[in-house]
């Protein structure tokens, strides 16, 4: 017989059972444990930032000391040169004395405008060089409108942090800019960024094996299909239109891993950069292997396609960039470098190809002329690169924790953002209003581009 609970009498306090009390204690403990872990991570982050600030302080102190020494040295040189001039001038004729004195006085009158121009030019040219056909490097004098005009950002503002929970090796943003997809270890997470506030994933798509990293994910423009590749021989094609996303097809090749993906402009074909150096071409409608481009002698690491869908550009760990004719199915060009190629992007308006390398350089090549620019703002390997749809600028990210935005093609620095860990992946929204990055500290960051 079930015992009926005794009803509370007026004025009698409610008492929890032992199990209910234990459950409440357990919940509070779990909450406090989560708070503890959160605070621990925050403390570790602050400690890391403190160490970084101390390093910067020492660096700036040494720089300041060096500049102070140099200033005193230059002042002493000026004093000695002035003394020499004062000794020599009396030996000149009266007419020449007057001319020399006037010239010396003019030399001393340096205006702030002149100083700013000198400092500006020396700063801007320090990291961008034009490389001629014979290999001669010259600092680039940027045009006055390099950082001005329609379509050129002023800076980028961080608006969302998406805590994925694993290293984020791949990111993509939807055409509507409502959803962001982050690829980590064994899964892709889907995020709704249309509203402000803290974020939690709205869906998790389990891909590959649990311990294998996603290396690339590409969304078809209609937002209904996602293609995922990584450290496995199989690509997963996800149907996002159903109430619960599901795998509708899998494409298997002989290569043990896929490093990068590209989709043709008509959305009918998928290109997969494989760890064996081959570029596999897939028919998305029939889910069949159509062709393989063979040429890279080591892993094919990055890929992009021209807007007209006629040319494919690939970079490899064999230190080469190759161009393929998609109509004839053959290699058109090969560019050899002294460093492994980790990332590349083809300018949507044509003519220019930007290449990110293990050596920390970004090189911007003209696709039909020998001209190229070499950019030197990264301090470590350049892990990802993406052009804005307008073609006027592009972004690159690196192992040095940096996100750099560059002017096409000569590489004037538009803005720079430093994150707390290596920035492994990036994407720019189709409307050029947002940038998404994926990093080694297990999160993705969404930036709003400010014009």
> Is the separation of the CB atoms in 89 and 97 below 8 Å?
yes
Averaged pLDDT for residues 150-161: 95
Residue 197, sorted as left (phi over 0), alpha (psi -120 to 50) or beta, turns out to be: left
pLDDT digits (tens, 9 = 90+) for 243-290: 999 999 999 999 999 999 999 999 999 999 999 999 999 999 999 999
Q: What are the φ/ψ torsions at residue 325 (nearest 5 degrees)? A: -85, 115
Q: How far apart are CA 157 and CA 155, in angstroms?
A: 7
Q: What are the φ/ψ torsions at residue 320 (nearest 5 degrees)? A: -125, 150
The DSSP call for residue 375 is E
> Is the separation of the CB atoms in 230 and 214 below 8 Å?
yes
Residue 116 has pLDDT above 90, yes or no: no
Per-residue confidence at 108, pLDDT binned at 50, 70, 90?
Answer: confident
Half-sphere exposure of 168 (CA within 13 A, CB side): 30
pLDDT digits (tens, 9 = 90+) for 60-98: 777 777 778 888 888 888 888 888 888 888 888 887 888
pLDDT digits (tens, 9 = 90+) for 352-377: 999 999 999 999 999 999 989 999 99
Q: How far apart are CA 323 and CA 331, in angstroms?
A: 6
The DSSP call for residue 185 is B
pLDDT digits (tens, 9 = 90+) for 13-68: 556 788 888 888 988 999 998 889 889 888 988 888 888 788 777 877 777 777 78
Q: Work out the number of other CB atoms within 10 angstroms of the CB of residue 258.
A: 27
Q: How far apart are CA 75 and CA 32, in angstroms?
A: 62
Describe the strand order of the beta sheet including 234-239 as a list of residue ranges: 214-219, 225-230, 234-239, 246-252
**DSSP of 246-295, one letter per residue?**
EEEEEEE-SSS-EEEEEE-TTSSEEEEEETTS-EEEEETTTTEEEEEE--
What is Dmax (Cα atoms) for the chain?
129
Burial grade of 245 (CB within 10 A; 0-12, 13-18, 19 or more): middle
Q: What are the φ/ψ torsions at residue 221 (nearest 5 degrees)? A: -55, -30
Residue 176 has pLDDT above 90, yes or no: yes
**Stated pTM of the model:** 0.73
> Is the separation of the CB atoms in 180 and 224 below 8 Å?
no
């Amino acid at each position: 017989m079930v015992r009926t609970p005794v009803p509370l009498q007026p004025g009698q306090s409610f008492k929890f059972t032992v199990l209910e009390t234990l459950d409440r204690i357990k919940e509070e403990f779990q909450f406090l444990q989560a708070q503890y872990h959160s605070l621990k991570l925050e403390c570790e982050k602050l400690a890391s930032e403190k160490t970084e600030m101390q390093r910067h302080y020492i660096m700036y102190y040494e720089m300041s000391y060096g500049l102070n020494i140099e200033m005193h040295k230059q002042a002493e040189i000026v004093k000695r040169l002035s003394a020499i001039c004062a000794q020599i001038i009396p030996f000149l004729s009266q007419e020449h004395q007057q001319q020399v004195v006037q010239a010396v006085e003019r030399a001393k009158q340096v205006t702030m405008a002149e100083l700013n121009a000198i400092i500006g030019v020396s700063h801007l040219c320090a990291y961008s060089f034009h490389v001629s056909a014979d290999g001669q490097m010259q600092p680039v004098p940027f045009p006055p409108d390099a950082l001005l005009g329609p379509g050129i950002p002023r800076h980028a503002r961080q608006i969302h942090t998406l805590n994925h929970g694993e290293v984020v090796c791949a990111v993509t943003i939807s055409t509507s800019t409502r959803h962001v997809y982050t690829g980590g270890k064994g899964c892709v997470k889907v995020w709704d960024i249309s509203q402000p506030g803290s974020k939690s994933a709205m869906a998790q798509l389990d891909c590959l094996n649990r311990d294998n990293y996603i290396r690339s994910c590409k969304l078809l423009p209609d937002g209904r299909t996602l293609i995922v590749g990584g450290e496995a021989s199989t690509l997963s094609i996800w149907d996002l239109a159903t109430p619960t996303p599901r795998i509708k097809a899998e494409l298997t090749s002989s290569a043990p891993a896929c490093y990068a993906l590209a989709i043709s402009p008509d959305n009918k074909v998928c290109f997969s950069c494989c760890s064996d150096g081959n570029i596999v071409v897939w028919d998305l409608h029939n889910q069949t292997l159509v062709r393989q481009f063979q040429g890279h002698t080591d892993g094919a690491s990055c890929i992009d396609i021209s807007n007209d869908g006629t040319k494919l550009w690939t970079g490899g760990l064999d230190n080469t960039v190759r161009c393929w004719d998609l109509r004839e199915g053959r290699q058109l060009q090969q560019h050899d470098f002294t460093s492994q190629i980790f990332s590349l992007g083809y300018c949507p308006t044509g003519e220019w190809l930007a290449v990110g390398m293990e050596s920390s350089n970004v090189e911007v090549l003209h696709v039909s002329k020998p001209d190229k620019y070499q950019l030197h703002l990264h301090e470590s390997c350049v892990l990802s690169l993406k052009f804005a749809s307008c073609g006027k600028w592009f972004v690159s990210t690196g192992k040095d924790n940096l996100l750099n935005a560059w002017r096409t093609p000569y590489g004037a620095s538009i803005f720079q953002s430093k994150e707390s860990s290596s920035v492994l992946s990036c994407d720019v929204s189709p409307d050029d209003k947002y940038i998404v990055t994926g990093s080694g500290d297990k999160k993705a960051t969404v930036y709003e581009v400010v014009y």
